[in-house]
Amino acid sequence: MIKKNLGLLIFALFASVSIFAQQTSTSPLPRGYSDIQLGLTVDEVKDLLKKNSIFGFRGDRDVSLLPTQERVLIETAGSSFFSRCWFQFYEDKLYAITLNVNTKRMDYYSMFTRFCEKYGKPATLNPSKAEWEDDGIILSLEKPLTVKYIDSKVYNELIDSGEKLKSSESVIREEFLNTF
């Protein structure tokens, strides 16, 4: 009798969770973090970074010109929850935001759970990352703990035009090599 009641209780719990999950609507994907949104100009992002101490922006010394003339990269140390942050521009418009989250203050599972609650099931899921896609935005949560906001239209244009997007680390590596 107890097993039967326990079985019914578990079934009812799963049914209510399933119904709840179907009834909750997901939020649209954000176009960026805080006030820094994809599509802003370099100067607009610089101004916002200066006003927000969470990014630790120090001004123009954090700004680099990438090998092609139309691409700018802002790299800045973070404070508190961010360890490093990158903002990539093409034709003076922000198209990619990469935020390395401090793993001493936050964990992948907590962020993954929150993203699923807020944005629904990821479009892509594998052991190294989860991606949500919506209205030209890709929101990526990568291990160990990186959040990326990408304008997929610009990203695909760059890929289609034959330009290879360099990761932030390869850009930094190239800049270091150029110092010799």
- Is residue 13 domain-resident? no
Which tokens is 24 given?
A: 């909750």
- Is residue 5 domain-resident? no
Q: How confident is the model at residue 122 (pLDDT cuts 50, 70, 90)?
A: very high
Q: Could you report how far apart the first and last alpha carbons of the chain are, in Å?
A: 78
Q: How confident is the model at residue 67 (pLDDT cuts 50, 70, 90)?
A: low
The boundaries of the domain holding residue 163 are: 26-178
- For 82-104, what is each residue's pLDDT tens digit? 999 999 999 999 999 999 999 99
- Is residue 16 domain-resident? no
- Is residue 106 domain-resident? yes
- Is residue 6 domain-resident? no
Structure confidence at residue 1 (pLDDT): 53
Angle (nearest 5°) at CA 94 between 131 and 133: 20
Structure confidence at residue 162 (pLDDT): 62
* Model confidence, pTM: 0.75
- Is residue 19 domain-resident? no
- Is residue 119 domain-resident? yes
Q: What residue ranges in 22-179 does DSSP mark as E strands? A: 32-33, 36-37, 63-65, 71-77, 82-90, 93-101, 124-126, 129-134, 137-142, 146-151
- For 23-48, what is each residue's pLDDT tens digit? 355 899 999 999 999 999 999 999 99
- Is residue 21 domain-resident? no
Higher pLDDT, 14 or 147: 147
**Structural domains counted in the chain:** 1
User: In angstroms, rounded to a whole number, what is the distance separating the alpha carbons of residues 46 and 76?
Assistant: 11
